[in-house]
Amino acid sequence: MELLLAITVGALYAAGFYMILRRSLVKVIIGLALLGHAAHLFLFTVGGLTRGSAPLLTGETAGRVESYADPLPQALILTAIVIGFGVQAFALVLFKRVYQTIGTDDLDQLKATDTGS
Protein backbone atom coordinates (compact mmCIF):
# COMPACT_ATOMS: atom_id res chain seq x y z
CA MET A 1 0.00 0.00 0.00
CA GLU A 2 2.82 2.39 0.86
CA LEU A 3 4.43 1.73 -2.50
CA LEU A 4 1.23 2.46 -4.38
CA LEU A 5 0.69 5.66 -2.45
CA ALA A 6 4.31 6.68 -2.92
CA ILE A 7 3.97 6.28 -6.68
CA THR A 8 0.72 8.26 -6.63
CA VAL A 9 2.36 11.04 -4.63
CA GLY A 10 5.24 11.15 -7.07
CA ALA A 11 2.87 11.25 -10.03
CA LEU A 12 0.84 14.03 -8.43
CA TYR A 13 3.95 16.12 -7.75
CA ALA A 14 5.17 15.58 -11.29
CA ALA A 15 1.79 16.45 -12.79
CA GLY A 16 1.45 19.45 -10.49
CA PHE A 17 4.80 20.95 -11.39
CA TYR A 18 4.25 20.19 -15.07
CA MET A 19 0.94 22.01 -15.02
CA ILE A 20 2.37 25.00 -13.16
CA LEU A 21 4.99 25.35 -15.85
CA ARG A 22 2.32 25.57 -18.57
CA ARG A 23 1.48 28.97 -19.98
CA SER A 24 -2.27 28.84 -19.54
CA LEU A 25 -3.64 30.33 -16.32
CA VAL A 26 -6.26 27.61 -15.97
CA LYS A 27 -3.60 24.94 -16.16
CA VAL A 28 -1.51 26.76 -13.57
CA ILE A 29 -4.35 26.69 -11.08
CA ILE A 30 -4.99 23.00 -11.78
CA GLY A 31 -1.28 22.49 -11.16
CA LEU A 32 -1.50 24.31 -7.84
CA ALA A 33 -4.42 22.14 -6.80
CA LEU A 34 -2.56 18.95 -7.77
CA LEU A 35 0.49 20.12 -5.85
CA GLY A 36 -1.67 20.66 -2.79
CA HIS A 37 -3.13 17.16 -3.11
CA ALA A 38 0.34 15.71 -3.54
CA ALA A 39 1.42 17.35 -0.28
CA HIS A 40 -1.69 16.09 1.54
CA LEU A 41 -1.29 12.54 0.30
CA PHE A 42 2.40 12.65 1.16
CA LEU A 43 1.56 13.72 4.69
CA PHE A 44 -0.98 10.90 4.86
CA THR A 45 1.51 8.29 3.68
CA VAL A 46 4.47 9.28 5.83
CA GLY A 47 2.16 9.73 8.82
CA GLY A 48 1.90 5.95 8.93
CA LEU A 49 -0.77 3.67 7.54
CA THR A 50 -2.47 1.49 10.10
CA ARG A 51 -5.16 -0.81 8.89
CA GLY A 52 -8.15 -1.86 10.96
CA SER A 53 -7.29 0.05 14.12
CA ALA A 54 -9.07 2.85 15.88
CA PRO A 55 -7.64 6.07 17.30
CA LEU A 56 -9.75 5.83 20.45
CA LEU A 57 -9.19 2.64 22.36
CA THR A 58 -11.71 1.45 24.91
CA GLY A 59 -12.45 -1.83 26.60
CA GLU A 60 -9.86 -4.57 26.38
CA THR A 61 -7.64 -2.84 23.78
CA ALA A 62 -7.21 0.26 25.95
CA GLY A 63 -3.58 1.21 26.49
CA ARG A 64 -2.12 -1.15 23.88
CA VAL A 65 0.10 0.70 21.44
CA GLU A 66 0.09 -1.92 18.69
CA SER A 67 -3.64 -1.59 18.04
CA TYR A 68 -3.57 2.19 17.94
CA ALA A 69 -4.01 4.25 14.78
CA ASP A 70 -2.60 7.77 14.89
CA PRO A 71 -5.40 10.22 13.98
CA LEU A 72 -3.21 13.32 13.91
CA PRO A 73 -2.03 13.11 10.26
CA GLN A 74 -5.65 12.92 9.15
CA ALA A 75 -6.51 15.92 11.31
CA LEU A 76 -3.59 17.85 9.85
CA ILE A 77 -4.61 16.90 6.32
CA LEU A 78 -8.19 17.91 6.98
CA THR A 79 -7.03 21.32 8.17
CA ALA A 80 -4.70 21.63 5.20
CA ILE A 81 -7.50 20.68 2.82
CA VAL A 82 -9.77 23.31 4.32
CA ILE A 83 -7.06 25.95 3.99
CA GLY A 84 -6.15 24.78 0.51
CA PHE A 85 -9.81 25.00 -0.45
CA GLY A 86 -10.00 28.60 0.73
CA VAL A 87 -6.78 29.66 -0.90
CA GLN A 88 -7.56 27.97 -4.20
CA ALA A 89 -11.04 29.42 -4.27
CA PHE A 90 -9.51 32.87 -3.82
CA ALA A 91 -6.97 32.12 -6.50
CA LEU A 92 -9.75 31.05 -8.85
CA VAL A 93 -11.56 34.36 -8.36
CA LEU A 94 -8.29 36.19 -8.92
CA PHE A 95 -7.48 34.27 -12.09
CA LYS A 96 -10.96 34.95 -13.41
CA ARG A 97 -10.51 38.66 -12.75
CA VAL A 98 -7.18 38.60 -14.53
CA TYR A 99 -8.75 36.95 -17.54
CA GLN A 100 -11.57 39.50 -17.59
CA THR A 101 -9.33 42.53 -17.13
CA ILE A 102 -6.39 41.60 -19.31
CA GLY A 103 -8.25 39.46 -21.76
CA THR A 104 -5.72 36.69 -22.08
CA ASP A 105 -4.91 33.54 -20.21
CA ASP A 106 -1.43 33.25 -21.69
CA LEU A 107 1.17 33.83 -18.99
CA ASP A 108 3.67 34.98 -21.59
CA GLN A 109 1.51 38.03 -22.18
CA LEU A 110 1.65 38.99 -18.51
CA LYS A 111 4.98 40.73 -18.40
CA ALA A 112 4.04 44.33 -17.71
CA THR A 113 5.27 44.04 -14.13
CA ASP A 114 8.67 42.78 -15.22
CA THR A 115 9.44 45.19 -18.00
CA GLY A 116 8.30 48.18 -16.00
CA SER A 117 6.12 49.59 -18.74
Q: Which is nearer to another protein, 62 or 78 (CB)?
A: 78
Of 29-37, 49-57, 58-66, the window that binds another protein (rule: CB under 8 A) is 29-37
Q: Which is nearer to another protein, 9 or 60 (CB)?
A: 9
Q: How far apart are CA 26 and CA 52, in angstroms?
A: 40
Q: How far is the CB of 40 from another protein (least distance, A)?
A: 7
Q: How far is the CB of 66 from another protein (least distance, A)?
A: 15
User: Three-state DSSP class for 106?
Assistant: strand
Residue 91 one-letter amino acid? A
Of 52-60, 61-69, 107-115, the window that binds another protein (rule: CB under 8 A) is 107-115
Handedness of CA 6, 8, 79, 17 (dihedral sign): positive
Residue from the set 47, 50, 57, 67 that interacts with another protein by CB under 8 A: 47
The stretches of the chain forming alpha helices (DSSP H) are 2-20, 25-46, 72-102, 112-115
